[in-house]
Amino acid sequence: MISWVQESSKKQEHLQNASFFVWLALHDKCWTAARRRRHNLQNDDACALCGQESETISHILLTCVFSRVIWFNILQSVGLQLLSPTPNQLAEFQEWWSSSRKRIQTADRKSFDTLVVLVAWSLWLERNARTFGRQSRNTAQLIPRHQPGGE
Ligand SMILES: [Zn+2]
């Protein structure tokens, strides 16, 4: 699909971590701010990426304004920008993923799944970096470049 997906999926450990995270996300087991608030672990449930909305897993991975920029740019780079999440997306992450993959050719679905897993993982890592006070990156820094052998 794109070299970035191919390169990243060769790094087995990275892909395994990403896949495990996505499994947790699909089962709503990630400790988002909204979940921590529900469990009375914190008072504020603002999203670490935009600071504006409640930080649910579907918000971080799909509807956040920050995340939508990432999705649009990456999906556009493989000609799938029509699948980009929209501002008024009501769907959960899982619904968006399953409905999106039905709209692409069967042969491309495996690559698409890998792309979704890796993007979701990048978004979660960025959320964690901000939540735990590490340096934050902007959307341009998170969008992978397509140079062979590049990071
Ligand atoms: Zn947000």
* Residue 119 domain-assigned (yes or no): yes
* Residue 83 domain-assigned (yes or no): yes
In degrees and rounded to multiples of 5, residue 138 shows phi and psi of -90, 175
Integer Cα distance of 56 and 34 in angstroms: 5
* Residue 150 domain-assigned (yes or no): no
- pLDDT class for 151, splitting at 50, 70, 90? very low
Ligand 1 centroid distance, CA of 109 (Å):
27
Ligand 1 centroid distance, CA of 62 (Å):
9
Q: CB within 8 A of 32, min separation 6: which ones?
A: 45, 55, 56, 57, 59, 60
* Residue 16 domain-assigned (yes or no): yes
Residue 149 is predicted with a pLDDT of 47
Contact indicator for 73, 64 with CB cutoff of 8 Å: no
* Residue 48 domain-assigned (yes or no): yes
Integer Cα distance of 95 and 90 in angstroms: 10
For 74-132, what is each residue's pLDDT tens digit?
999 999 999 999 877 667 899 999 999 999 999 999 999 999 999 999 999 999 999 98
The tally of domains found in the chain comes to 1
pTM of the model: 0.84
For residue 151, what are its two tokens? 């990071």
Q: DSSP per residue over 48-93, as a string?
A: TTTSSSB--HHIIIIISHHHHHHHHHHHHHTT-GGGSPPTT--S-H
* Residue 148 domain-assigned (yes or no): no
Integer Cα distance of 60 and 48 in angstroms: 9
* Residue 147 domain-assigned (yes or no): no
Ligand 1 centroid distance, CA of 148 (Å):
31
- What range defines the domain where residue 128 resides? 3-142
Ligand 1 centroid distance, CA of 106 (Å):
32
For 119-149, what is each residue's pLDDT tens digit?
999 999 999 999 988 777 888 887 876 555 4
Q: Is 85 helix (H, G, I), strand (E, B) or coil?
A: coil
Ligand 1 centroid distance, CA of 55 (Å):
6
Ligand 1 centroid distance, CA of 51 (Å):
6
Q: Which amino acid is at 84?
A: S
* Residue 44 domain-assigned (yes or no): yes
